[in-house]
Amino acid sequence: MSTHVLAPAGRRVALAGAAALTATLALAAPAAAHAEVEADKPQALARDVTIGFVSEAESESAGFTELRVVLPEGIAPEDVTLREAPKGWKLKATSDGYTVGGPALKTGANAEHEIKVRQLPDAKEIAFKTVETYSDGKISRWIELPSGGDEPEQPAPVLELKAAASGAKPDGPSSAPTESEKADPTPSTTEPTAGATDSEPAAKAAEDDGGGSAGLVVGGVVVALAVLSGGAWWLVKRRTAASQG
């Protein structure tokens, strides 16, 4: 009798427990991320860190052509170099981050790329707001940050960092040239400019011409002296002959 009474109760308890466990797992599981980030050294103030990004394809008719990433505070665009990217994709610095893009990827292919950062900032976590562009012009923005404990619908990729190592210090500003400096470099003071190079033959020609003019002057003086000497000798000879006569 007791067995028939307890069995249904046991099943109800088991079902209730399973439902509670399912609800707990559902609440604990993070929202599906379509833009993700990870690093080989996720630690504050770590140097020469490789950071990888994955943007999951959402379009069923177009492929990725470009990703625009906004760098977190503490990482300057000139501190970033491209390590890996889809074939033909190039990195270009912007005022607040960088873009990486090129030929359109196949429809359904994820966009993956890696950058190398000179040093990570001293923070607990850093966000990389990402804007994805497809070949058909569609734009997907993963730029939202958590607010008030609610998970955003399109969260920005966030990298959690461990505490900085003992004695770690932030580096000074990078001395790498900006894009404008690369495009219009300042001429070196140790190298001859085009004008100086062009003026060298002219200067040499002027020196040669000056030497020739000096030679003509000297030659003229010699001839004049010779004529004067010859005339003086002729006058002396004539006076001597006259005195003897």
Q: Give the CA distances from residue 29 to residues 16, 32, 33, 151, in Å, rounded to whole numbers and listed in that order.
A: 20, 9, 11, 11
Is residue 176 in some structural domain?
no
Is 133 within the bounds of a domain?
yes
- CA-to-CA separations, 184 to 29, 80, 95, 180, in angstroms, rounded: 51, 21, 18, 6
Interatomic CA distance for residues 58 and 105, integer angstroms: 12
Give the span between the Cα atoms of 1 and 5, in whole angstroms: 7
**pTM, entire model:** 0.60
Whether residue 86 lies inside any domain: the answer is: yes
Buried b / exposed e over 50-76, threshold 16 CB at 10 Å, is ebebebbbeeeebbbbbbbbbbbebbb
Q: Is residue 124 situated within a structural domain?
A: yes
For residue 93, is it within any domain?
yes
Q: What is the pLDDT along the chain (245 residues), one digit of tens a residue?
A: 444 444 454 444 444 444 444 444 333 334 454 899 999 999 999 999 999 999 999 999 999 999 999 999 999 999 999 999 999 999 999 999 999 999 999 999 999 999 999 999 999 999 999 999 999 999 999 999 988 778 899 999 999 999 999 999 998 765 544 443 333 333 333 333 333 333 344 334 334 444 444 444 445 544 444 444 554 444 444 454 444 44
Q: At CA 68, angle to CA 64 and CA 72, rounded to 5? A: 145
Residues 132, 133, 135, 137, CA torsion sign: positive
CATH of the domain at 101: 2.60.40.2230
Do 142 and 154 contact (CB within 8 A), yes or no?
yes
Stretch (H or E) spanning 35: strand 35-39
Residue 14 inside a domain? The answer is: no
Which residue range forms the structural domain that includes residue 106?
35-165
Total of domains in the chain: 1
Distance (Å, whole) CA 79 – CA 46: 13
Q: Which of 160, 85, 155 is nearest to 120 (CA)?
A: 160
